[in-house]
Structure 1
Amino acid sequence: MDSIEAAPATALGARTEIDVAAERARTVGAGLSHHFNAAGSALPSHGVMTAVVDHLRLEERYGGYEAAAVARERTEDVYAAAAELIGARAHEIALFDSASTGLRVIVDALRPGKGERIVASSTTYVSHAMHLMTVAREHEAELVVAPVDAQRQVDLAALDALLADGRPTIVTVSHIPTSSGLVEPAERIGEIARRHGATYVLDATQSVGHLTVDVDAIGCDALVTTGRKFLRGPRGTGFGYVRQSLLERLTPTAPDVRGAEWVSRSGWELNLTARRFESWESAVAARLGLGVGLREALERSPQTTQRWLRARGRQLRSALADVPGVTIADPGEASSAIVTFVVDGVECRTVVERLAARNVRVVSVPATHGQWDLGARSLPSVVRASVHVYNDDDDLDALVEGVRAVVAGRVSG
C-alpha cells in the first residue's frame, strides 16, 4: 500500500504540537473506524460524553430542574468558554440547539423589510438559504447572492460596489461551506460591511474549533456556530454571538420566558444579554458536554489547531489529487481541513458506500444542500472528507487506499 509520506515538522507547522495519540486515547470512536466526518458530526471525546451521561444520571436521581440547579455554575461556564474562544464577552453569547436555529432567530430579530436588502454568500447552507428566501418573499426584501471571483470566494470589489449605494443591508456569509474546503475572506468582508454600515452575520458552523475565529478581527456583528462539528460537542447544541452595539437594537420576534419577564398585563422586559434570544427548554446535559468541548478546544489552542488541520487538509488533498480518476472539487486555493472530490464514472453515494465497507467514514454532499455553489458549478454531488485532531497517518492511508480501490473497481467493472 502506498503510504502518505509524512511532511517534516517545518512544513506542517504545528504537526508536533498536536498530540494525536492523546487525542485518539480520549476518543473511543477513533479506534473503531477511520472517521472523516468532522464537518458533519465529529467524534466526541470521552470527557464530553462523561459530562452528558453524568448529568443525565443526576436527572434520573433528582429530576431535571433539581439537576440543573446543581449544575448551574458549570452551565454558566459554557457562556464564558464560548466567549473566550471567539474573543467575545459572556453576555454577548446565546446558546441554541443548532446553528440553523441561531441564524433564524437572529435574522428574524433584524426584521428585514420592504426596500431592504440581504446579501448572502454563494456558499450559504441550504437551511439558512431557504429561510432567507422565505424572509425575502414574505417581507418584500431583496435577496442578492453575492458575486464570486475566480476562486469562487465572495468578490470583494463587487461587494464593495454593491453596498456603496447605502441601502440598509444584511450581509450573511458562510465562513467555510458545507460543500467544499473553501475559506471565505471573512475579515475583508467585515471591513467592507463596516465601511458601508451593513450588518454582518457570519455562519461559522464549520470554522469555530477548526480555524482561529476572533469576532473583533473579523468585524462581524453576529456569529453562529454548532457544537457537533469541529468543537466535538453533542448534537443539539450550538451558540451565537451578538455584538453589544447590535444587541441593544434587537428584540426577538417570539420572546420566551427564558429571555424576557412578563411585568404587566401587556408589557414585558427583555433580558439585557444575548440570552433574550434563548428558549427556556434545553438539554442541560448536552450543554454541559458542549462546555467540555469548548474547554478542550481552548486547551488545544485555536492557533495550533488551525495550523495542524490546515496542514493535514493539504496533505490529504494532495494525496487524493495524485490518484488517477479522482478530481478534487474544492474551488480555488482551498485552505481548510475539508476536502471534496469526485471519482470519474462513480456516483458519490456509491463512493461513500464502498468506503464504508472498508470502515472509512465520509459523506456525500448533494447540490440540494448548496444550489448557489454546487448547483452553479454543475456538480450534482461531491464526496466530502473532513479531518480532525484524532486522525492519524493510518487513517489518511486508509482513505486514500480506499479511494484507489474504488477507482480500480470501476475500471475492472
Structure 2
Amino acid sequence: MNIEQLRTDTPGVEHVIHLNNAGAALMPNQVVNVMTGHLQLETRLGGYEAAGQSAVELDNVYNSIGRLINASPGEIAVIENATRAWDMAFYSLPLGPGDVVLTSSTEYAGNYIPYLQLKKLRGIDIRIIPNDEYGQVSLSSLQEMLRDDRVALVSLPVIATNGGPVQPIEEIGALARAAGVLFLLDACQAVGHIPIDVQKIGCHMLAATSRKYLRGPRGMGFLYVEKSLCRSLEPVFLDLHSASLQTPDTFEIRADARRFENWECNIAAKLGLGAAVDYALEQGIEPMWQRIQQMAHYLRSKLADTPGIILQDNGSTKSGIVTFTHQGSSAAQAQQWLAGQDKRINVTTSTVRSTMIDMQQRGLEEVIRASIHAYNTVTEIDATIEALVRMSRG
C-alpha cells in the first residue's frame, strides 16, 4: 500500500498517534470534503433542495456499500447508527416463547441487553456457544447446539469490542444455513477492517457502523438484509418513507431493505459514509487487512517484551484490536498517561460492562485497547511503547 498517501490523506496523523480506530478512526480528507461540501450546499440552497440536488450521489451510497460487502443495493438500508440498524433487524424477527438465540461469549452488551429484554417480554432463551481452545466459537459445539429445533437465530460479533479473535464467520454461516437457522452478524469492528462478503459468509442480516474502520463520520451506519428474507420482516417502526399510505385504512411497506429506514436523516453524514466506502474500496480492503495485521503483530511483539505488560488477546486469527493490561496501572491511568504525551497517543479502555461474559470467564475487569489501522506506522508504535516504559518507571 501507499502508506505515505494514506497519511497525506489523513491530516489527523500530524496531531495525534491514533490507536483508537475501533472507537472512531481518523477521517480522510476525501470524506470531510464531501460532507463539508454538502453542508455548504445546504447553506446556499436549503436542506431539502440540497438533498434533491444530491439525489444521484445519495443513491450511489447504496451501490458502494453493496460493492463493499457483495450485496445488491436493494438489500441495504442506511440508518443513523449501527445500534439502531442492528435493533431494526433483531426486533423485527418473529421470536417467541421457547425460541433459542445462540450467541458468543464475546457478544457486546448493547446486543445482549435486547436478548434479555425479549427473554423478559417474549420468553425467548439465550444460550452461549462454548469457545474452542483458541478462544473463538467452537464449531463442533455450535453444530451440536443447532440440532435443537428450537434454535431460531445465531447472532454474534465478527470481532469483539474488547479484542479477541476474528470469528470463523464463513464456517458459522454454513452451519446456520444447513440447519435452516437465521444468522445475524454484528460487523461493526469488521467492515473496513477485514474483507466481508455476505455471499461467502451466508449471513441473513448484517449491521455495521461508519465511524470505526471505515473511517466515515459518526452517527451513521447501515444494515444488510437478504432479499429473500426482507419482505417477511415487518419493521418495528414505520413512517412515510418505509411505507406508503394506500387508503385512510391501509398502508403498504416498501419491498426493499429501505423499509428499515426512516425519512429524516443526516444527509451530509450519509454522503460521508458513501465517500468513506469509496475510499476504502479504492485502497483495497485486502491490502489494508494485511497492513493492519502486520502492524498489530509488531505492536503485540513489542508489548510482549515490555516489562509489566500482559497481552490479553485470544484467537487463531487476531485482528487489529490489541488488548493488554499493565501490572502497575489501571487501564484508565494508562489511557490518561498516553494522552498526556507531547504527541498525544489515543487508546481507550474496555471494561467488563461491555463484554461481560467473556471478561468474567477470563477474570478481567478491564483492558487497555489499542486498535491499529493501515495508516499507523512502526514509528508510532515505538513511541507508544517508549511512553509505556516511562510510565512503568514512574
Residue 334 of structure 1: CA displacement? 4.6
**What residue is the counterpart of 2:345 in the other structure?**
360
Of 174, 191, 208 in structure 1, the residue corresponding to residue 191 of structure 2 is 208
**What residue is the counterpart of 1:262 in the other structure?**
245
Dislocated runs of 4+, deviation >3 Å? none
**What residue is the counterpart of 1:71 in the other structure?**
54
Of 133, 137, 158 in structure 2, the residue corresponding to residue 154 of structure 1 is 137
Residue 332 of structure 1: CA displacement? 3.5
Percent identity reads: 36
One-letter amino acid of the structure 1 residue matched with residue 391 of structure 2: V
Once the two structures are superposed, the pairs formed by residues 52-201 of structure 1 within 5 Å of their partners are 52-201=35-184
One-letter amino acid of the structure 1 residue matched with residue 178 of structure 2: R
Asked whether the 8 Å contact 1:325–1:344 carries over to 2, the reply is yes
Distance 1:378 1:292 in 2: 41
**What residue is the counterpart of 1:376 in the other structure?**
361
Distance 2:355 2:105 in 1: 8
1:335 partnered with 2:318: yes
Asked whether the 8 Å contact 1:82–1:90 carries over to 2, the reply is yes
Asked whether the 8 Å contact 1:170–1:201 carries over to 2, the reply is yes
**TM-score, normalised relative to structure 1:** 0.93
Of 218, 241, 244 in structure 2, the residue corresponding to residue 235 of structure 1 is 218
In the alignment of these two chains, the number of paired residues is 392
Distance 2:166 2:243 in 1: 37
One-letter amino acid of the structure 1 residue matched with residue 329 of structure 2: V
1:220 partnered with 2:207: no
Once the two structures are superposed, the pairs formed by residues 1-12 of structure 1 within 5 Å of their partners are none
Q: Which string of whole-angstrom CA distances, capped at 9 and with x for unpartnered residues, describes residues 31-53 of structure 1?
A: 10100011000000111111111
Residue 111 of structure 1: CA displacement? 2.5
Residue 137 of structure 1: CA displacement? 1.4
- Ranges in structure 2 where 5+ consecutive residues have no aligned partner: none
1:402 partnered with 2:387: yes
Distance 1:68 1:277 in 2: 20
Distance 1:79 1:62 in 2: 24
Distance 1:254 1:126 in 2: 23
Residue 266 of structure 1: CA displacement? 2.4
Residue 109 of structure 1: CA displacement? 0.8
One-letter amino acid of the structure 2 residue matched with residue 385 of structure 1: A
SS of 1:38's equivalent?
Answer: coil
**What residue is the counterpart of 1:46 in the other structure?**
29
Distance 1:360 1:181 in 2: 22
SS of 1:91's equivalent?
Answer: helix
Residue 160 of structure 1: CA displacement? 0.8
Residue 180 of structure 1: CA displacement? 1.0
Distance 1:394 1:315 in 2: 11
Residue 390 of structure 1: CA displacement? 1.6
- Ranges in structure 1 where 5+ consecutive residues have no aligned partner: 1-17
Change (3 A) 1:181 1:400: farther
Of 17, 22, 29 in structure 1, the residue corresponding to residue 5 of structure 2 is 22
Residue 157 of structure 1: CA displacement? 1.0
1:387 partnered with 2:372: yes
One-letter amino acid of the structure 1 residue matched with residue 289 of structure 2: Q
One-letter amino acid of the structure 1 residue matched with residue 67 of structure 2: E
SS of 1:39's equivalent?
Answer: coil
Q: Which string of whole-angstrom CA distances, capped at 9 and with x for unpartnered residues, describes residues 368-408 of structure 1?
A: 11101112212110000011122122211111111111222
Distance 1:44 1:145 in 2: 36
Distance 1:172 1:207 in 2: 15
